[in-house]
Structure 1
Amino acid sequence: LDEERRLFYVAATRARNYLYMSTYREDYRQYGSVSEGPSLFLRELPSGCYKLMDYDYGSSYY
């Protein structure tokens, strides 16, 4: 886990001006949806260092 955290940090600090990260709310699978939520590393970020943007694409999925 420490190595994964280090790799996340290295990747995030390579951004020059902006860094866009995304996550998903639910994973739609054959037998129903599974809520996963953001990565542990995203949840560990201090709230003042990012801007949370939420998009509602409606209920239609293809």
Structure 2
Amino acid sequence: MELPEYELVDSFPVGATVVDADGGTVDAVNGTISWTVPAVTQATLGASAPSSFCYEFNVAIQN
């Protein structure tokens, strides 16, 4: 399994303040946070790689 590098973008509520974007880039004007997710190849996963995997981002916001 191989996946190219891609950008993940999520939005947050109007009026909220991002306290921790977990490495993402905050666009306060448009209310979004974006992360660059690195490419994944069999070589980077290794021979015993699972058939599925996930990335998790934990964002803290306040009103």
Q: Which has the higher helix share?
A: 1
Could you state the TM-score of these two structures normalised by the residue count of structure 1? 0.25
Q: Which has the higher strand share?
A: 2
Which protein, 1 or 2, shows the higher relative CO under an 8 Å CA cutoff with sep ≥ 6? 2
Could you state the TM-score of these two structures normalised by the residue count of structure 2? 0.25
